[in-house]
Structure 1
């Protein structure tokens, strides 16, 4: 069978935190994505002989949100590694030069570089959060990042954002009070974006409402 999507080269893979890597992928022709959007990535996570027939069951697909603030000849996704996962350990072990297939971009949560932002991230949500914050700073707008994780990723980019004037708050996974306090403190600093798994983004929405804000005005991406 033919794998659906556009074949693109993996340009590089680098570690960006504990159990987290960033993949730099070749940009397909006509691919125009904004920070906040995502792609569907398909791959066969094993060595495949040139004459081997690939079955549908061999192909694994996952959605990944862009973690680069812009798209040029390449773009970036951030992958959290699940040791028992079907795809992420294989992606993390790539050395560059391999091929994966992508479709997209998808998603209506986009940053148009036109306003101040507050990016709230849980776990792997840090990828799109830093991309939106960097895009905001590059466009002359203010950016706050609130990030909950015991083992933060993209620390170098977060430190660069902080040095550039962005407010960056990192709280432990068990510190719900600290997360709520940080969200409440920065709630009125710009349009709020939130990225993370269901429990996390539900907590963010409830915190916004408890603080007197309107969660429907926030742009929230639920990773499931």
Structure 2
């Protein structure tokens, strides 16, 4: 999809320094949970574009992006100030590490990786599948959706420890089967790979998105 203007339906706080933006889906928008968009805004007279991953299970009429607000960031503070009725320029979707109707998903998320994690897990559960979410963060976001996933029968573990050092995380991953997804920054990806290798998974088989 070429760059197009979309309308902000709502913005809500979903965790410390974290907001979720609900946006109107443009015509013929075909995005899967786990894909990402290029989002552009004009900040202090300069157009700045960054990538954000979808955090909604679908995108038929609206879709969601979860934004961690870095006070020193170029675009995230501006996005955090958006209100209902504002518009954004988006292009995409992009990416190859997304949900493709796998019957069992195992999603490892670090920090803002929780966005695609909840979107993929919710979609898999809605499709009649199974989901495991292992999420590392010392200030978790989307706790309401994580509780909802647990109530629906998903396995959810939230920890502030490195996964490779967490007995709970290693126990969950030892029992988990299905397509593995990993979302987060580079240091988390290294930790996730160590945990996967330690629990009998091949990290090379995982669908991975490096946030930088």
TM over 0.5, yes or no?
yes
Shift of 1:186: 2.4
Aligned equivalent of 1:82, options 41, 45, 70: 70
What number of residue pairs does the alignment pair up?
Answer: 210
In structure 1, how many angstroms separate the alpha carbons of the residues matched to 2:58 and 2:24? Answer: 13
Runs in 1 of length 4+ with deviation above 3 angstroms? Answer: 173-176
Counterpart-to-counterpart distance in 2, 1:63 and 1:148 = 21
1:211 offset after TM fit, Å? 2.9
Taking a change above 3 Å as real, the CA distance of residues 203 and 174 of structure 1, as seen in their structure-2 partners, is: closer
Distance of aligned partners of 1:173 and 1:98 in 2 relative to their CA distance in 1, 3 Å threshold: farther
Residue in 2 that maps onto 1:32 = 30
| Structure with the higher fraction of residues in strand conformation | 2
Distance 1:221 1:30 in 2: 25
Q: Structure 1: where are the runs of 5+ without partners?
A: 47-53
CA contact (8 A) 1:121 1:129 kept: yes
Asked if 1 retains the 8 angstrom alpha-carbon contact of 2:163 and 2:170, the reply is no
Work out whether residues 196 and 202 of structure 2, in 8 Å CA contact, stay in contact via their aligned partners in 1.
Answer: yes
Partner residue of 1:50? none
Deviation at 1:209, TM superposition (A): 2.0
User: Is 1:113 equivalent to 2:111 in the alignment?
Assistant: no
Q: Say whether residues 1:219 and 2:204 are aligned partners.
A: no
- Unmatched 5+ residue regions in structure 2? none
In our comparison, the structure showing a higher alpha carbon Rg is 1
TM-score, normalising length: structure 1: 0.88
Kept in 1, the 8 Å contact 2:122–2:149? The answer is: yes
Moved more, 210-219 or 58-67: 210-219
1:6 aligns with 2:4: yes
Q: Mark the CA change 1:137 to 1:210 in structure 2 (over 3 Å): closer, same or farther.
A: same
Which of 160, 169, 172 aligns to 1:182? It is 169
| Among candidates 150, 163, 179, match of residue 191 of structure 1 | 179
TM-score (norm 2): 0.93
Query: Where does residue 51 of structure 1 map in the other structure?
Result: none
CA distance in 1, matches of 2:87, 2:197: 44
CA distance in 2, matches of 1:146, 1:120: 5
1:181 Cα deviation after fit: 4.7
